[in-house]
Amino acid sequence: MRTYAVHASVVRNLRDARRGDYRMTDISTAAGNALRDAVCSICGRHGDDPAALLEILHELQDEWGCVEDDAVPMLADALNLSRAEVHGVVSFYHDFRTSPAGRVTVKMCRAEACQSMGALKLIEDICTRMGVPLGGNGDDARVTIEPVYCLGNCALAPAALIDGRPMGRADIDKLENAIAEAAA
């Protein structure tokens, strides 16, 4: 079973999170109960093993669309971890979302090779064009634009993935057309 390495930055996040304030989860709602059922079921499949936290978070996001804030204390309870530990891992890894993604997910590479080909400006431009913040959804939940760090397509920088489909030599018009096509 894969164990998760506690990277130095995660430890820093944990320290920061421990100073934070966590709201209690309201499990009296149907949605709260459904979320708790999902968390318990996934954790149970992993033997409630805290070393499986990353796999559990990925499975929860696959099933639930995101790792929402209310899941953090539930995961902590189930895995006998502190809320700060769970929160630190969720906030450290860019793969985890705390709200559901839009109908189209665009991953924009901002690693070195793509940066050297203008990726940062391109990311800014496509977020402006779509009217969404980087990493978040617009009001209509049509598209989510997420930063990633190397898509393995450096030779065709700047690189992007639109709903899992790779795009090389991305530019603003190609991105806009691909998003419109994926949303149709």
145 closest CA partner among 125, 118, 174, 171: 125
Closer by beta carbon to ligand FES, 104 or else 109: 109
Looking at the Cβ atoms of 152 and 164, the one nearer to ligand FES is 152
Residues of this chain that interact with ligand FES (CB under 6 A) are 109, 111-114, 150-154, 157, 159
Closest approach, Cβ 29 to ligand FES, in A, equals 42
Closest to ligand FES by CB, 27 or 148:
148
CB of 139 to ligand FES, least distance (A): 29
**How near is the Cβ of 120 to ligand FES at its closest, in Å?**
11
